[in-house]
Chains A and B, each alone.
Chain A
Amino acid sequence: MSNLNKTTISMIINNEDYNDLNVETRQHLGDFLRDLGFKGTHLGCEQGACGACNVLVDGESVRSCLMLAVQANGKNITTVEGLNSSEMEIVKDCFVKNNAMQCGFCSSGMLMTTYEIVKSNRKYSREEIREMISGNYCRCTGYQAIVDAVEDSLNKINVGV
Chain B
Amino acid sequence: MKSPAFSYYQAKDLADAINIKKSDDDAVILAGGQSLLPTLNMRLSSPSVLIDIGSINELKKIKVEDSYLIMGAMCSHSQIMNNKEVNEKFPILNKLLAQVAHPAIRNKGTHGGSIAYGDPAAELPAFAVLVNAEIILSGPDGERTVSAKEFYKGLFETAINSDEILTSVKYPINQNGMKLFFDEVTRRHGDYAMAGLVGSIKQNNKINEEINLVFFGTGDRPNEAPKTCEYLLKNEYNYSDIKDTLKNDIDFASDISSSSDMKAHLSAILVGRMMKELN
Contacts and interface: CB of A to CB of B under 8 A. Distances in A.
Nearest to B101: A135
Contact of A65 (B5, B10, B37, B188): B37
Nearest to A46: B1
A47 B35 CA distance: 9
Given A26-B6, A68-B33, A135-B101, A60 B107 contact: yes
Contacts of B98: 131
B189 A47 contact: no
B37 A132 contact: no
A4 B102 contact: no
A67 to B, nearest CB: 6
B7 A134 contact: no
Given A67-B33, A134-B188, A48 B38 contact: yes
B107 A135 contact: no
Contacts of A134: 102, 188-190
Given A4-B8, A24-B5, A113-B104, A66 B189 contact: no
Contact of B37 (A48, A61, A112): A48
A63 interface: yes
Looking at A61, A63, A70, A132, which has the most chain B CB atoms within 10 Å of its CB? A63
Interface residues of A, number: 36
B207 to A, nearest CB: 37
B108 A135 contact: no
Contacts of B54: 71
B275 interface: no
A116 B40 CA distance: 27
A135 B190 contact: yes
Contacts of A15: none
Contacts of B64: none
A141 B54 CA distance: 36
Nearest to B23: A1
Given A47-B1, A65-B37, A71-B52, A3 B103 contact: no
A54 B38 contact: no
Given A66-B33, A135-B104, 12 more contacts: A1-B7, A1-B23, A4-B7, A5-B5, A25-B8, A28-B3, A28-B37, A47-B38, A48-B38, A62-B108, A65-B37, A131-B98
27 contacts: A1-B20, A1-B49, A4-B49, A24-B5, A25-B5, A25-B50, A26-B6, A28-B37, A45-B1, A46-B2, A47-B38, A60-B107, A62-B104, A63-B104, A66-B108, A67-B108, A68-B8, A68-B50, A70-B8, A71-B30, A116-B104, A134-B102, A134-B189, A135-B104, A135-B105, A135-B190, A136-B102
Interface of A: 1, 3-5, 7, 24-26, 28, 31, 45-48, 51, 54, 60-63, 65-68, 70-71, 73, 112-113, 116, 130-132, 134-136
